[in-house]
Amino acid sequence: MQYYYILRSVLRADPRLKKCLTRCRHCGIFFLTHPRNAGRRDLRCPFGCREAHRKEISNKRSIEWYRSKKGKKKKKEINRRRFLQILPSNNKNEEINNKESCEQQEQVILDKPEVSRSKTILSYLQMLISLIEGRKVSIDEILQMLLKIVRQHSIDRRRRFLYAFTYPVQRPP
């Protein structure tokens, strides 16, 4: 509901964006698209439907490929190489190196900032904010704005209750 309220207020503030309003072919949600896509009815929203459709089509292509003769042969080679890599090795240095590389990968994942850097959502935000402001907005500006929003504290004076304390009478089965 809040999404549609904001969408309506943006359209009221800038009526030229009304032509960019379109409905997702999959989930039916309204969203703003780039002016070059205005009027198209085959678009999917950037909130998950577009990505899900890409994965679905990719899976279909993959299935068709691996059912062909060339695909079956290639898959057999890949599985053989994978099997040969898994065979136990007597070299303990390789095991230590593997553990160190796993720890380094985990550290990189833990060091990522709080803001999710999903390329599709960031590119959609860039396009949307550029349309609304009427100027080219960079990804860096969007990330700075998001970091500022994430850092802000709520002005809500109510105390937050844990879910378990909101229903003290009910007991789990």
> How many domains is the chain built from?
3
Report pLDDT for 104: 56
Q: Which amino acid is at 135?
A: R
Identify whether 102 is part of a domain. Answer: no
Structure tokens at 46: 């950037």
- Does residue 25 fall inside a structural domain? yes
Can you give the three-state secondary structure of the chain, one letter per residue?
A: CHHHHHHHHHHHHCHHHHHHEEECCCCCCEEECCHHHCCCCCCCCCCCHHHHHHHHHHHHHHHHHHHCHHHHHHHHHHHHHHHHHHCCCCCHHHHHHHHHHHHHHHHHHHCCCCCCCCHHHHHHHHHHHHHHHCCCCCHHHHHHHHHHHHHCCCCCCCCCCCHHHHCCCCCCC
Let me know if residue 110 belongs to a domain: no
Same domain, 53 and 29: no
Predicted local distance difference test score (pLDDT) of residue 157: 60
Domain that holds residue 126: 115-151
Q: What percent of the chain has pLDDT over 90?
A: 39
Q: What are the pLDDT digits (tens) for 86-110? A: 766 555 555 555 555 555 544 444 4
* Residue 74, domain member (yes or no): yes
**What is residue 85's predicted lDDT score, i.e. its pLDDT?**
83
The pTM (predicted TM-score) of the whole model is 0.56
37 pLDDT higher than 70: yes
Q: What is the CB neighbour count within 10 angstroms for residue 30?
A: 14
Look at residue 41 and tell me whether its pLDDT is greater than 80. Answer: yes
Region 110-133: mean pLDDT is 73
The 10s digit of each residue's pLDDT in 12-28 is 999 999 999 999 999 99
- Rounded distance between C-alpha atoms, residue 160 and residue 50, angstroms: 35
Which is nearest to 23 in space by CA: 32, 35, 34, 10? 32
Of 145, 114, 117, whose CA–CA distance to 129 is shortest?
145
Q: Is it the case that residue 70 has pLDDT exceeding 90?
A: yes
Where does the pLDDT of residue 155 fall: very low under 50, low under 70, confident under 90, or very high at 90 and above?
low
The answer on 36 and 54 residing in a single domain is no
Same-domain pairing of 40 and 75:
no
